[in-house]
Amino acid sequence: MIIFGWGHVTNKQYGATLADNCSNCNNDSWWHLLRNRKWFTLFFIPVIPYKTKYFLMCPVCSQAVELTGSQIERARQLNVLTQGLLNKSISENEYRNQAKKIEVLG
């Protein structure tokens, strides 16, 4: 007998991505990039993701904005850059110069 299922959900946190003000809780903070996936499972093991969504989430109140189209790729680039800033592998100047080129929600 083959046991399969739908709707197994996993969330992956990529960490700090975009410095922004939250319209919900009014805090300035680093919004986090989040990936939400729904999986097809076989014998309770997730094998194929059939739905993937990306969000930017306020870490204070968990308000989330869904990213679409090219916003996703830009958010991932900015995430890598922001992680570099936070672990001090790039300078703040370098960060600002690079981040200007990536307008995530534009």
Q: Can you give the binding site for Zn ion, defined by CB under 5 A?
A: 22, 24-25, 58, 60-61, 63
Which of 66, 73 has the CB closer to Zn ion?
66
The CA distance from 17 to 32, in Å, is 5
Residues 4/20, Cβ–Cβ less than 8 Å: no
Query: In the complex, what is the shortest distance from the CB of residue 25 to Zn ion, in angstroms, rounded to a whole number?
Result: 3
Query: In the complex, what is the shortest distance from the CB of residue 82 to Zn ion, in angstroms, rounded to a whole number?
Result: 18
Going by their DSSP bridges, the two strands 64-67 and 45-57 should be labelled as: antiparallel
Which of 52, 62 has the CB closer to Zn ion?
62
Strand partners, 9: 38
Q: What tokens appear for 7 in the block?
A: 């709707």
Which of 20, 46 has the CB closer to Zn ion?
20
